[in-house]
Amino acid sequence: MGIQKASVTRALYDTCAFAVVRVPTVERGPEVAEGLLGGGVGAMEVSYTLPSAGGVISGIRERFGGDMLVGAGTVMEATTARLAVMAGAQFVVANTLSDGVARVCNLYQVPHPPRRTTVTEANRALEIGAAFVKCFPISNAYGPQLVGLFKTPTPWMPLMASGGINLGNLAEWVRSGVDACGMGSLLTRGSADEIARSAAEVRRIIDETRAQMGA
C-alpha cells in the first residue's frame, strides 16, 4: 500500500491511453470496461459530472479488480475527492487546481492530475504534488505541439493530454513525448465489441510508436 501512488502513476504511463467515461447508468460502466480490457486498454476515468459516478467506480472495481485502473474525473473540491477515493478511485483528475483536492489525494496517496493551461499553473501543480499535469482544453487548440511547449523549458513535467486525440494523430502525440492520453467517444461509444476494436487499434498505435522510439 505504501507505494500505491507510484505504482498507479507508473501504470498510467505504461498503458498511456485511458477512456474518459460519462455514463448515465451504473450498468453501462462495466460494459465499457469489458470492451476496453478486450482491446488492451486497462484504464478509465469516470466523470463526476453525473451522480452515478461513485457507483460506477465501485462496480467496476468489484467486477474487474486489479485488471482495470479506475479513476475519478471532473473533481472540483475536497469533498468529491474523498467520496471518489472511498468509492475506490485509484487516481483523481481535477478540472481545476484545488489545494483541497490535492491535500486529500496526497493524504491517501492517490495520483492527482489537475487541469492547467499555462506553464506557471503547471509548475504550481507540481509544487503541490500533482502526478501529471492535465492539458485540457488546450490540447484541442494546440495539438501534439503542446507537449514541446511545456517540456522544452521543463522536460521533467509529466503531461496528460485529454481532448482532440484520435486515431489519426495518436502516434504524433506519443512521438511528441506525452505521458498519458485521455480519449472520450473513441473508447466509449458502441457495444463492448466495438469498444474493444477501437481500444485494440489504440493499443497497437501506442505500442508500435513507443517501440520505434525505443521507449
At 114 the three-state DSSP class reads: strand
Q: Do strands 159-162 and 180-183 pair parallel, antiparallel, or not at all (unpaired)?
A: parallel
- Integer Cα distance of 157 and 63 in angstroms: 34
Among candidate residues 62, 77, 127, 134, the one labeled active-site is 134
- Sequence length of the chain is 215
45 counts as catalytic: yes
Let me know if 31 is a catalytic residue: no
Distance (Å, whole) CA 188 – CA 34: 11
- Residue 52 near residue 69, CB atoms below 8 Å: no
116 with 99: CB under 8 angstroms? Answer: no
**Exposed, middle or buried: residue 127 (CB in 10 Å: 0-12, 13-18, 19+)?**
exposed
Q: What is the DSSP string of 15-70?
A: H-EEEEE--SSTTHHHHHHHHHHHHT--EEEEETTSTTHHHHHHHHHHHHGGGSEE
Per the CB < 8 A criterion, the answer to whether 84 and 92 are in contact is yes
Q: List strand residue ranges (DSSP E) for 48-163, in order.
A: 69-75, 91-94, 115-116, 133-135, 159-162
Which member of 5, 27, 34, 45 is catalytic?
Answer: 45
Kindly list the catalytic residues.
45, 134
